[in-house]
Chains A and B, each alone.
Chain A
Amino acid sequence: MIELDVRRLMCPMPVIKTQDRIKTMAPGEHLRVTCTDPGVMQDIPAWCRINGHTVLTAEEIDHEYSLIIEVGG
């Protein structure tokens, strides 16, 4: 599992950081993104749907948002 900490960044920066990190990863690998902007709960899944990746889990814990993404082919 690769970790990406984008806490304090506001959308769309977490999406951009996620996009740039995924470019360096292989299909099937998993990325966990940790954020504080609630906008990621819409934006990252939308970006993943468009670009062929899968959000495995998305949860909020104490005002932080954590998404696990499986990189698509």
Chain B
Amino acid sequence: MRFRLNVEKVMATQRKAVALISGGLDSLLAAKVMLEQGVHVEGINFYTGFCVEGHTHAIRKKDKAKPKRNNALWSAEKLGIKLHIIDIIEEYKDVLINPKHGYGANMNPCLDCKIFMVGKAKEWAEENGFDFIITGEVIGQRPMSQRRETMPVISEESGADDRLLRPLCAQNLPETLPEREGWVNRDELYDFSGRTRKPQMALAQKFGFDDYAQPAGGCCFLTDKAYSVKLTDLWASRGKRDYEIDDIMLLKVGRHIRPKPHFKLIIAREEGENNFLQGYKKQFITLRTMSHKGPLTLLDGKASDEDLKLASQIVARFSQGRDAEAVDVEVTEKGVSQSYTVTPLKPDEIEPSWRV
């Protein structure tokens, strides 16, 4: 009889939480802590276009040896929860281009990004009848977005307010609605803080999680210095801060060389990139060495005949004819090809400032 009453109580009061799942350890643990407390949890994962997860493994041949799993899906499967993956590429542009709270060390608008994602999760929760939102945030874990001062900013500006619970550091923060209402037991939440990963690793061990993802540079290309430099160069060359998904994909591929302000070359570095760039042949001027083996190259921008000769000399430099007297280069635009016979540039003729 007592058992039946308890079951009825659980059935009547089981609350529903949507968990932001990045694919990393912290969000995995935060969701698991909630499941342990009997909360119904479903995951939500946002795709900005800059996620390290996903398509990058499909490009470089050297990456093909690595496992091709999507870590957010892996996390959800480990947890036994549903995962909803949401395309926010278009909406995310405003977050990146006009971040209210500015950028981190590179072009990473981490605080605005978190506010935006928690806000989107709140909208989703309301539409789908969920009671609260959880994240794997830990005070002090990240220098820009996960600080004591930023925790209330995220709660307030996202509109989630006290329906945002951070199970891994909740004991260091004021009580939230789920705690006050007894939907979760605050005593069984955690007080993690700082950059150390030891408490998370111990908790992962307790839950039997191994083989979890530990990306060294986080899960976003915008935290990467080289990538950020390329994005800044793209905006400067176009005279406006905007992008399409193809732009941000191409920033991940090839050598980028800008010999003139009005055009840039994207030169494949290996077979996988060569294959990937093939898909863009109709959209760009392409260059290919014909007399010697060499990489496929895209030309982004506008180029005069003189520019095309210079571009051909650069491309020849990266071909097997780099030491030859003359290299034949085919330049194709909108299906029409012309040939240039050029002397490859010498290494010291490629200005360091051209390399993006």
**A→B interface (CB under 8 Å):** 8, 10-13, 15-16, 19, 37-39, 41-43, 46-47, 49-51
With A19-B84, A50-B77, A50-B81 in contact, is A12–B70 under 8 Å at CB?
yes
B residues with a Cβ closer than 8 A to A are: 45, 47, 51, 53-55, 57-58, 64, 67-70, 72-74, 76-77, 81-87, 249, 279
Q: A12-B85, A19-B85, A50-B83 are in contact. Are A39 and B73 (CB under 8 A)?
A: no
B82 near A50 with CB under 8 A, answer: yes
Is A39 within 8 A of B47, CB to CB? no
Contact A43 B70 (CB under 8 A): yes
Q: Closest CB-CB distance, B248 to chain A, in whole Å?
A: 11
Assembled-state Cα–Cα distance A35/B58 (Å): 12
User: How distant is B275 from chain A, measured CB to nearest CB, in Å?
Assistant: 9
A-B contact pairs, 22 of them (CB 8 A): A10-B58, A11-B70, A13-B47, A13-B54, A13-B87, A15-B85, A16-B47, A16-B85, A16-B87, A19-B85, A37-B55, A37-B58, A42-B68, A42-B70, A43-B68, A43-B69, A43-B73, A47-B83, A49-B77, A50-B76, A50-B82, A50-B83
Instruction: Tally the A-B contacts, defined by beta carbons under 8 Å.
Output: 70
Nearest residue, chain A, Cβ from B43:
A50
Contact indicator B58/A38 (Cβ below 8 Å): yes
> Closest CB-CB distance, B76 to chain A, in whole Å?
5
- Residues of B within 8 Å of A11, CB to CB, are 53-55, 57-58, 70
Residue of B nearest to A15 (CB): B85
Residues of A within 8 A of B73 (CB): 15, 43, 46-47, 50
- Asked if residues A12 and B53 are in contact (CB atoms below 8 Å), the reply is yes
Given A19-B85, A46-B74, A50-B77, A12 and B69 contact (CB-CB distance below 8 Å): no
Q: Let me know if B57 and A12 touch, CB within 8 A.
A: no
For B79, the closest partner residue in chain A by CB is A50
Residue of A nearest to B70 (CB): A43
Known: A19-B85, A42-B70. 14 other contacts (CB 8 A): A10-B54, A10-B58, A10-B249, A11-B53, A11-B57, A12-B53, A13-B55, A16-B86, A37-B58, A39-B54, A43-B70, A43-B73, A47-B85, A50-B77
